[in-house]
């Protein structure tokens, strides 16, 4: 079966794809349309269904595998689908492995390497807190995406993002010895754990009600306090510092942080998080761009386009 990654301009298909996201709109002339994000296990692609009927609106269900008829177009140097029809399917017999993307790093390797970082923390309070958080979240941590769309939005994405950040943190702690390496690594390892409650999962990783109302920063902070209480570590200085790491890791109030970074390790965590998420976003955006051409405008990068130089 042809995969999204293999699509070519001007091809026409009738095939099944997972509907990741649906936005309903109306043109200036009052005609309804659907903006779709469609996926298989090779990647995602945007699609438009113009002059959408009531049946189309009903059939387009996020998290469902649908049968679509479409044409592949080149739009601003990126492929996009012009969808002609969409039909909802019985979900019971569908093999979701064909439609769920996964991290290129095996779950077994993610576990081994992250456990290695946990074991490398020499501060006993920080190590107990981190181990307690991983015991609380369990296997879910290694299944979840790190975001709904922007970066690491696939099976194992959260663990891959965490491991990538830990690798950067190890290097930065070595380059700047005044940083508390154990605190920085501990902050990296648990800063996004609340996303396992904020996001709905793999098939439709839209935000849960708890995610929308509370957010992963507050969720993760609450879990850390519960863990610290259960271990008798609530009043330890390391606990307070690690709480600050979680609460400040988005770096700015307008980005969702209740407090701003006020220790060097928290500032480093914010910057490391940004580096890893933005580089992976760029990697994903440029995968389908030909050398010598430009990406589409990227909202997360102030609507800038990026040029893909040839090697």
Asked if the structure places residue 304 within a domain, the reply is no
How large is the C-alpha radius of gyration of the chain? 21
| Domain identity same for 38 and 69 | yes
* 149-177 mean pLDDT: 85
Q: Among 48, 50, 40, which Cα is nearest to 96's?
A: 40
Q: What is the CATH number of the domain that holds 64?
A: 2.40.50.140
What percentage of the chain carries pLDDT values higher than 70? Answer: 95
Amino acid 105: pLDDT:
79
| Domain identity same for 74 and 157 | no
Residue 151 pLDDT grade (very low, low, confident, very high; cuts 50, 70, 90): very low
Q: Which residues pair with 12 in a beta bridge?
A: 71
* 306 φψ region: left (φ > 0), alpha (ψ -120 to 50), beta (else): beta
- Domain span at 14: 4-98
In whole angstroms, give the CA distance from residue 235 to residue 254: 30
Amino acid 147: pLDDT:
52
* 201 φψ region: left (φ > 0), alpha (ψ -120 to 50), beta (else): left
| Domain identity same for 163 and 181 | yes
| Domain identity same for 138 and 277 | yes
Q: Say which residue, 106 or 45, is predicted with more confidence.
A: 45
Q: How far is CA 219 from CA 91, 142, 197, in A?
A: 32, 18, 8
Q: Which single residue is written with the structure tokens 């849960």?
A: 208
Averaged pLDDT of the chain: 89
Q: What is the CATH number of the domain that holds 234?
A: 1.10.3210
Amino acid 145: pLDDT:
67
Predicted structure pTM score: 0.76
Most confident listed range (42-46, 104-108, 122-126, 290-294) = 122-126
| Domain identity same for 134 and 278 | yes
pLDDT in tens, 111-150: 999 999 999 999 999 999 999 999 999 888 887 765 544 4
Most confident listed range (89-98, 125-134, 190-199) = 125-134
Residue 276 pLDDT grade (very low, low, confident, very high; cuts 50, 70, 90): very high
In whole angstroms, give the CA distance from residue 245 to residue 194: 13
In whole angstroms, give the CA distance from residue 309 to residue 47: 26
Would you say residue 269 has pLDDT above 50? Answer: yes
- Cβ-proximal residues to 139 (8 Å cutoff; 6+ apart), any chain: none
Most confident listed range (18-27, 39-48, 122-131, 136-145) = 122-131
Amino acid 152: pLDDT:
52
Amino acid 5: pLDDT:
85
| Domain identity same for 124 and 168 | yes
| Domain identity same for 31 and 176 | no
| Domain identity same for 168 and 49 | no
| Domain identity same for 66 and 112 | no
In whole angstroms, give the CA distance from residue 251 to residue 253: 7
Q: How many domains, the chain? A: 2
| Domain identity same for 271 and 246 | yes
Q: Which residues pair with 307 in a beta bridge?
A: 294
Q: Which two tokens stand for residue 167?
A: 């690798």
* 252-257 mean pLDDT: 90
Amino acid 201: pLDDT:
62
| Domain identity same for 92 and 162 | no
Q: Which two tokens stand for residue 28?
A: 């200036």
């Amino acid at each position: 079966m042809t995969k999204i990654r293999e699509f070519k301009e001007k091809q026409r298909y009738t095939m099944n794809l997972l509907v990741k996201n649906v936005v309903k709109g109306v043109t200036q002339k009052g005609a309804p349309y659907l903006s779709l994000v469609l996926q298989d296990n090779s990647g995602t692609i945007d699609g438009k269904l113009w002059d959408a009927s009531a049946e189309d609106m009903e059939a387009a269900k996020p998290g469902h595998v649908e049968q679509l008829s479409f044409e592949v177009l080149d739009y601003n140097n990126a492929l996009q689908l012009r969808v002609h029809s969409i039909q909802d399917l019985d979900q019971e017999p569908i093999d979701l492995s064909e439609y769920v993307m996964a991290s290129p790093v095996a779950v077994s390797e993610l576990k081994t390497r992250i456990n290695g970082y946990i074991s490398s923390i020499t501060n006993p309070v920080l190590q107990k807190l981190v181990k307690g958080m991983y015991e609380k979240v369990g296997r879910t941590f290694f299944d979840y995406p790190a975001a709904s769309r922007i970066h690491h939005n696939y099976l194992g994405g959260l663990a891959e993002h965490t491991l990538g950040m830990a690798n950067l943190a190890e290097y930065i702690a070595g380059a700047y010895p005044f940083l508390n390496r154990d605190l920085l690594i501990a902050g990296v390892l648990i800063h996004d754990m609340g996303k396992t409650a904020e996001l709905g999962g793999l098939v439709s990783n839209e935000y849960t009600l708890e995610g929308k109302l509370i957010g992963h920063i507050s969720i993760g902070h609450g879990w850390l306090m519960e863990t610290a209480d259960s271990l008798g570590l609530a009043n330890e200085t390391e606990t307070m510092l690690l709480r600050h790491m979680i609460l400040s890791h988005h770096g700015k109030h307008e980005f969702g942080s209740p407090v701003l970074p006020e220790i060097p390790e928290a500032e480093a965590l914010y910057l490391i998080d940004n580096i890893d998420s933005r580089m992976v976003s760029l990697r994903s955006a440029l995968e389908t761009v030909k050398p010598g051409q430009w990406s589409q405008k990227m909202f997360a990068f102030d609507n800038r386009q990026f040029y893909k130089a040839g090697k």
